[in-house]
Amino acid sequence: MDQRRETSSGRFDHCPWLFADGATEEQRAAQLARRTALDGDSEVGERCYVAESAAVFTDRLRLGADSYIAAHAYVTGELTTGAHCTLNPFTTVRGTVRLGEGVRIGAHTSLLGFNHSMEPDRPVHRQPLTSRGIEIGDDVWIGSHVVVVDGVRVGDHCVIGAGAVVTRDLPAWTVAAGNPARPLRDRRASRTTGGTGGTPRSLTRFADTARSQAAGLLSRAWDGDRYRDRPGAPATVRAHCDAVEIADLLLGSAPGQLAPEEHVRRLASAQDPRSGLVPELGEPLPPEEEDGFTADGAALYHVLSVGYALDLLGASFPHPVRGVRDMTAPQLLARLDGLPWRERAWNAGAWVDAWATAAHWNLRHGASGGGTVEALFGALVTRVDPWTGLWGTPSAEDGRLQVVNGYYRLTRGSFAQFGVPVPSPERVVDAVLDHSRDPRWFGAGRETACTVLDVAHPLWLCARQLGAGGYRSTDVRDWAEGQLAAVLPRWRDGEGFGFGPGADGPGPRPGLQGTEMWLAIVWYLADLLGRSDELGYRPRGVHRPEPARTVLGPFPG
């Protein structure tokens, strides 16, 4: 009997997870030929397996890396999967079906991404077909003999019990069963717990994985001369700074692509000696406002990213930021009045963050600022909304998105960086937790590094001020547990974290910015649970938890 046919049609077809370690070179060549011969527009990722006995007649197939289609599966139409997806024996997938990352589909299950019309003017067999498609999120387990009908959306981290018939959308983390399928509970409420609450016992393992892959992540982003956020992206100043932050956090050293002194030279020389600002690579300096400081753009964030990258490298900006050094208190107050608090609170908070951070660096140069730092805190304390403890105004379109994001940026650079207590911390906790329940920005895979950090840092900052077991500590811990459980599985081996879904920001592809931000977020979430020591790292740069300076006395709040 032909050994290839016996193995391919038998053991490996029914147990394809054995193929990677157990196949001979001849069997691997036969599998490659099988994949090459697939019908239609087909792309199969690395280390995949498609059973010889599977009927795969797709119009379009995109099979993610480390996925398989097992014995006697029947696959037609358009199928797209992420990595680590498995279609077990006798699975049927038809119509338009999209699977996220890490989806497990049990034997004899049917995903039917099409339907027949049922109009009475013609026989059933002559009815036109319709297709709205099926979408399955990341980290989903679908049991055996399940039927999912056309138009259904299954959120991330769901578990669907054997024999269920899914006719309606299921939100993230749902455990469902029955015909028709009904939600039974939230999966997070039943997961294996670690030292506190329901947080997984995976923090140390995650940190060890990140550390072991850190050098490779940095090499991936290096184009031979500059750092990019990810392969194919342009080189940027922020990418270089993110590389320094990641290396310091995980490796305790400078990135290995350059000598430490060369990192310092490149970053320090990027600062314009006259203005003290750092433009983007290949771009001119941003225009100055009448008071001498800039209003928007990459140069504002570079005050943070380049300043702290140099700080981590044991250096500092060679020049003060002139627009902040020379600004008078009346000019500062006028600028604060003119910031777009009602329409774009994020931009307003980002400006305060950059201004206050520039003031911090200027103090290293001996520039006292003539009382402008004190004027800043006085203005912020008197202008805060007494009902929410925030600055800015919510909108019908965004809810509190802009306001909470602006709060994080504002307090990071001012109150947190200078060690000054925030006003009305209990009301801040109420407002921020209320925002964290907005389904437009949280749940079903909608979170980005920004939206989660915007909540995690204010909650952490207020919790530190309110003390252990402080205001709404149970609610805060529950939120942190849920976010931490969702974040850790998003790490992609050899690539790191993606920033998040959508077009805003770097997008979902893993890169330096997403990795740098999520590593800090994981620390803050873990610290809210009293478990950050398990990570073995602590942010020291832009996202450092300790004040960078404590030269001011406390302000009333």
State pLDDT tens for residues 372-419: 999 999 999 999 999 999 999 999 889 999 999 999 999 999 999 999
The answer to whether residue 507 scores a pLDDT higher than 80 is no
Average confidence score pLDDT of the chain: 89
Binned at pLDDT 50, 70 and 90, residue 189 comes out as: low
Cβ count near 550 (within 10 Å): 11
Say which range, 125-134, 295-304, 400-409, 541-550, has the weakest mean pLDDT: 125-134
Say which range, 11-20, 365-374, 394-403, 442-451, has the weakest mean pLDDT: 365-374
Distances (CA, A) of 237 to 86, 194, 279, 498: 40, 39, 8, 19
> Rounded to 5 degrees, what angle do the CA atoms 11, 83, 114 make?
90
The answer to whether residue 301 scores a pLDDT higher than 90 is yes
Binned at pLDDT 50, 70 and 90, residue 195 comes out as: very low
pLDDT at 359 (0 to 100): 95
Tell me if residue 112 falls in helix, strand or coil.
strand
DSSP characters over 23-83: --HHHHHHHHHHHHT-SSEEEE-TT-EE-TT-EEEEEEEEE-TT-EE-TT-EEEEEEE--S
Tell me if residue 349 falls in helix, strand or coil.
helix
pLDDT at 200 (0 to 100): 47
Amino acid symbol at 252 = G
User: What distance, in Å, lies between the first and last C-alpha atoms of the chain?
Assistant: 83
Binned at pLDDT 50, 70 and 90, residue 19 comes out as: confident
Average pLDDT over residues 69-94: 94
The answer to whether residue 117 scores a pLDDT higher than 70 is no
* Secondary structure (H, E, C), 418-437: HCCCCCCHHHHHHHHHHHHC
Distances (CA, A) of 299 to 237, 280, 351, 514: 10, 7, 11, 20
Average pLDDT over residues 60-72: 93
CA 387 vs. chain centroid, Å, equals 30
For helices 425-436 and 401-411, what crossing angle results, to 10°?
A: 140
Average pLDDT over residues 465-493: 87
Average pLDDT over residues 317-326: 94
Q: In the block, which residue shows the tokens 């792309």?
A: 43
- For residue 512, give both structure tokens: 């330096």
The answer to whether residue 201 scores a pLDDT higher than 70 is no
Say which range, 181-190, 354-363, 545-554, has the weakest mean pLDDT: 545-554
Q: What's 342's DSSP letter?
A: T
Q: What's 175's DSSP letter?
A: E
The helix (run of H) or strand (run of E) holding residue 105 is strand 104-105
Tell me if residue 176 falls in helix, strand or coil.
strand
Residue 211 burial (CB < 10 Å; 0-12/13-18/19+)? middle
- For residue 220, give both structure tokens: 């991936």
Tell me if residue 494 falls in helix, strand or coil.
coil
pLDDT at 550 (0 to 100): 60
pLDDT at 462 (0 to 100): 96
Binned at pLDDT 50, 70 and 90, residue 549 comes out as: confident
pLDDT at 504 (0 to 100): 59
Q: Which CATH architecture has domain 203-535?
A: Alpha/alpha barrel (1.50)
State pLDDT tens for residues 257-268: 999 999 999 999
Length reported for the chain: 557
Residue 33 burial (CB < 10 Å; 0-12/13-18/19+)? exposed
Q: Which CATH architecture has domain 3-190?
A: 3 Solenoid (2.160)
DSSP characters over 113-165: E-EE---TTS-GGGPPEE---EEE-SS-EE-TT-EE-TT-EE-TT-EE-TT-E
Average pLDDT over residues 193-208: 63
The pTM (predicted TM-score) of the whole model is: 0.66
Contact 388, 406 (CB under 8 A): no
The answer to whether residue 43 scores a pLDDT higher than 60 is yes
- d(C-alpha 466, C-alpha 460), whole Å: 10
pLDDT at 264 (0 to 100): 97
pLDDT at 468 (0 to 100): 67
The answer to whether residue 220 scores a pLDDT higher than 80 is yes
Q: Is the dihedral of CA 160, 163, 164, 166 positive or negative?
A: positive
- d(C-alpha 265, C-alpha 87), whole Å: 53
Contact 360, 549 (CB under 8 A): yes
User: In the chain, what are the helix, strand and coil shares in percent, each to the nearest 5?
Assistant: 40, 15, 45
pLDDT at 92 (0 to 100): 96
- d(C-alpha 410, C-alpha 175), whole Å: 39
Q: Is the dihedral of CA 210, 215, 216, 218 positive or negative?
A: positive
The answer to whether residue 100 scores a pLDDT higher than 50 is yes
pLDDT at 446 (0 to 100): 83
- For residue 146, give both structure tokens: 């399940």
Q: Among 51, 157, 145, which Cα is nearest to 106's?
A: 145
Domain ranges, ordered by start, for the chain: 3-190, 203-535
pLDDT at 111 (0 to 100): 96
> Rounded to 5 degrees, what angle do the CA atoms 30, 33, 34 make?
85
Amino acid symbol at 68 = Y
Tell me if residue 170 falls in helix, strand or coil.
strand
Distances (CA, A) of 513 to 211, 239, 430: 16, 7, 29
Largest CA distance in the chain: 91
Q: Among 67, 61, 112, which Cα is nearest to 86's?
A: 67
Residue 380, beta-bridge partner list: none
Residue 257 burial (CB < 10 Å; 0-12/13-18/19+)? buried
- d(C-alpha 547, C-alpha 419), whole Å: 5
Average pLDDT over residues 134-154: 93
315, 320, 321, 322: CA torsion to nearest 10: -170
Q: Among 307, 280, 231, 211, which Cα is nearest to 506's?
A: 231
- Residue 556: asked if its preceding bond is cis (omega within 30°), the reply is no
Contact 437, 404 (CB under 8 A): no
The answer to whether residue 199 scores a pLDDT higher than 80 is no
Q: Among 89, 60, 63, 58, which Cα is nearest to 75's?
A: 58
Say which range, 139-143, 373-377, 500-504, has the weakest mean pLDDT: 500-504
Residue 474 burial (CB < 10 Å; 0-12/13-18/19+)? exposed
